[in-house]
Structure 1
Amino acid sequence: MATLGAGDYNPLLQNRRRRLAELRTGLGEPLPPHAHGKIERLLARLELVLSQIAELERERDAVAESKAPDRAGRMIQQLTSLRGIGVQSATVLVREAFVRGFANGKALGAYAGLASTPYSSGGIDREQGIGKAGNRRLRTVMVELAWLWQRYQPSTAHAAWFRKRVGATGRRIRKVMVVALARKLLIALWRFVSDGVVPEGAVMKPAA
Structure 2
Amino acid sequence: MDGNSNGEKIRRKSIDARDRSRFMQELKLAKEKLGMDPGVPALCCYEAGRDGFWICRWLKQVGLECLVIDPASIEVNRRKRRAKTDRLDAEAMVRLLGRYAGGDTKIWAVVRVPSEKQEDELRLHREMERLKKERTGHLNRIKALFILHGVKLSGTLTKLSKTLDGLQCWNKKPLAEELKEEVRRELERLRLVGEQIKLLEKNKAEALKNPRTNAEHQAQDLMRLHGVGEVSAWVLSKEFFGWREFKNRREVAALAGLTPTPYNSGGSSVEQGISKAGNRRIRRVMIELAWSWLRFQPDSALTNWFVDRYAKGGKRARRIGIVAVARKLLVALWKYVEFGEVPEGAIVR
Could you tell me the TM-score, scaled by structure 2's length? Answer: 0.55
Aligned-residue identity in percent: 42
- Are residues 1:3 and 2:148 paired? yes
1:80-126: CA deviations, max 9, x gaps? 11111110111111122112222222112111110111222135445
**Is the counterpart of residue 139 in structure 1 residue 293 in structure 2?**
no
- Counterpart code for 2:148: T
CA contact (8 A) 1:9 1:19 kept: no
Of the two, which has the highest radius of gyration? 2
2:319 maps to a residue whose letter is: K
Aligned to 1:111: 255
* Counterpart in the other structure of 2:302: 158
Moved over 4 A (4+): 123-126
Deviation at 1:38, TM superposition (A): 0.9
CA distance in 2, matches of 1:65, 1:89: 16
The equivalent position to 1:84 in structure 2, one of 211, 227, 240, is 227
Listed as ranges, the matches of 1:167-206 within 5 Å are 167-205=311-349
Say if 2:311 and 2:318, in contact at 8 Å, map to a contact too.
Answer: no
Q: C-alpha distance in 2, partners of 1:165/1:155? A: 15
Structure 1 position 127 matched with structure 2 position 266: no
Partner residue, 2:191: 47
Q: 1:24 to 1:106 in 2, by over 3 A?
A: same
Q: In structure 2, how many angstroms separate the alpha carbons of the residues matched to 1:14 and 1:34? A: 21
AA of the residue aligned to 1:195:
F
Partner Cα separation in structure 2 for residue 9 and residue 91 of structure 1: 35
* AA at the equivalent of 2:313: T
Spell out the pairing of 1:50-69 with structure 2 (5 A cutoff): 50-66=194-210, 68-69=211-212
Structure 2 contact 256–278 (Cα < 8 Å) conserved = yes
Secondary structure of residue in 1 paired with 2:147: coil
Q: Give the secondary structure class of the aligned counterpart of 2:273.
A: strand
1:33-92 C-alpha deviation (Å, 9 max, x unpaired): 1111111111111111111111111112112211x4310110110011111111011111
In the alignment, structure 2 segments of 5+ residues that lack a partner are 1-145
The residue identity in structure 2 corresponding to 1:38 is E
Q: Name stretches of at least 5 consecutive residues in structure 1 with no aligned partner.
A: none
More relative contact order, 1 or 2 (CA 8 Å, 6+ apart): 1
How many pairs does the alignment contain? 203
Residues 69, 27 of structure 1: alpha-carbon distance in 2 compared, 3 angstrom cutoff: same
CA distance in 2, matches of 1:7, 1:128: 45
Counterparts of 2:157 and 2:191, CA distance in 1: 11
Q: Given the superposition, is the C-alpha separation of residues 19 and 133 from structure 1 closer, same or farther in structure 2, using an over 3 Å criterion?
A: farther
| Residue 128 (structure 1) shift | 2.2
Q: Aligned residue for 2:141?
A: none
Q: What one-letter code is carried by the residue in structure 2 that aligns with 1:98?
A: F
Q: Which residue type is aligned with residue 86 of structure 1?
A: G
